[in-house]
Amino acid sequence: MDRFEAMSVFAAVTEAGSLSAAGRRLGMPLTTVSRKMTELESHLGTRLLVRSSRQLSLTEAGRSYLAACRRILEEVGEAERAAAGEYSAPRGELVITAPIVFGRLHVLPVIAAFLRAYPEIEVRLSLADRVVHLLEDHVDLGVRIGELPDSSMVAVRVGAVRRVVCASPDYLAARGRPNRPADLAGHDIISFEGLASPDIWRFGAGKSEISVPIRPRLTVNTAEAAIDAATEGVGVTSVLSYQAADAVASGRLALLLEEFEPPPRPVSLVYAGRGLLPLKLRAFLDFAGPRLKEALAQTARAINLRAD
């Protein structure tokens, strides 16, 4: 039995959630994945996984062994990157994840310029609004919006974004302007499912927080759709400032309740802080950090100038 391959298969099974999904990820037949897991458990003399018709779960021994496998696989991967020259020159594949709209508007243009500057680096960009586990999904760097939990990750702050409330001038002319959060009860609300609590909007009032229950007239599943609906005069919506920046700057949307906004959310570049830092990642941090800071500052200025 190839123990290193068995560790890789075991880690893939736990990350994918099933033997079949792991097989697809690894390009390996289901029967082969099942056989390798059986051989591994036989070799260890213990059960690692509890298999049911719907899901897999780790045994106590499985959890301990998985942690060791991940540590060993990461160390082997680091040794291979060192041998391939990733610590002597900026080269190789860089895997980055970012929120969908922020990634499209701000991260992708930076990556395009970065690729022109570093011809020996390839980038794989994954845009997703879910929080991606960097180590489990083999991601080099993540762009995160919001407060970060304590972890072994290193975070480089590049700016902040606001959660804003906005509506079209035509809607406000017809329905009036809300002057305080409670006034939203008399307005048509556009909500989207990306919010942590789509039926509750939170506002700031000094050091305290105001929670306002809302009843959406329209619910959509993306911020872009919420902004499009708001510009069409459907109602009032709440999004992040960079998502609405173009519509506000062009006058298609007007900001509301600015004095009640919650504290801005930090935007950070996050990466694993263990071991040597590959030069491809250091190059991207040095290249992208200042450019993203300037992009966020320009967005803030554009919104503030229009709001004034």
Which alpha helices (DSSP H) does the chain contain, by range? 3-16, 19-26, 30-44, 60-83, 100-102, 108-117, 169-175, 223-231, 241-249, 279-307
Distances in Å between the Cα of 125 and the Cα atoms of 30, 109, 146, 256, 273 are 29, 12, 20, 34, 20
Asked whether residue 248 falls in the same domain as residue 106, the answer is: no
| Residues 184, 186, 192, 198, Cα dihedral to 10° | 60
Average pLDDT, the chain: 87
Asked whether residue 169 falls in the same domain as residue 156, the answer is: no
The mean per-residue pLDDT over the stretch 208-216 comes to 89
Asked whether residue 206 falls in the same domain as residue 270, the answer is: no
The mean per-residue pLDDT over the stretch 210-238 comes to 93
Q: What is the pLDDT of residue 308?
A: 44
Asked whether residue 153 falls in the same domain as residue 178, the answer is: no
Q: What is the pLDDT of residue 22?
A: 86
Asked whether residue 224 falls in the same domain as residue 78, the answer is: no
Asked whether residue 256 falls in the same domain as residue 167, the answer is: yes
Tell me the CATH number at 120: 3.40.190.10
Q: Pick the last residue of a domain from 83, 111, 137.
A: 83
Asked whether residue 144 falls in the same domain as residue 178, the answer is: no
Asked whether residue 195 falls in the same domain as residue 255, the answer is: yes
Asked whether residue 280 falls in the same domain as residue 168, the answer is: no
The mean per-residue pLDDT over the stretch 230-245 comes to 94
Asked whether residue 233 falls in the same domain as residue 113, the answer is: no
Which range marks the domain in which residue 170 is found? 163-260
Please say if the pLDDT value at position 196 is more than 70: no
**What predicted TM-score, i.e. pTM, was given to this entire model?**
0.68
Domain count, the chain: 3
Higher confidence at residue 229 or residue 204? 229
Please say if the pLDDT value at position 94 is more than 50: yes
Tell me the pLDDT band of 185, cut-offs 50, 70 and 90: very high
Q: Pick the last residue of a domain from 50, 83, 116.
A: 83
Q: What is the pLDDT of residue 85?
A: 63
Distance CA 46, CA 49 (A): 9
Which of 39-48, 127-136, 167-176 shows the highest mean pLDDT? 167-176
Q: Pick the last residue of a domain from 83, 113, 148.
A: 83
Asked whether residue 75 falls in the same domain as residue 9, the answer is: yes
Please say if the pLDDT value at position 266 is more than 90: yes
The mean per-residue pLDDT over the stretch 177-182 comes to 94
Helix (H, G, I), strand (E, B) or coil at 17: coil
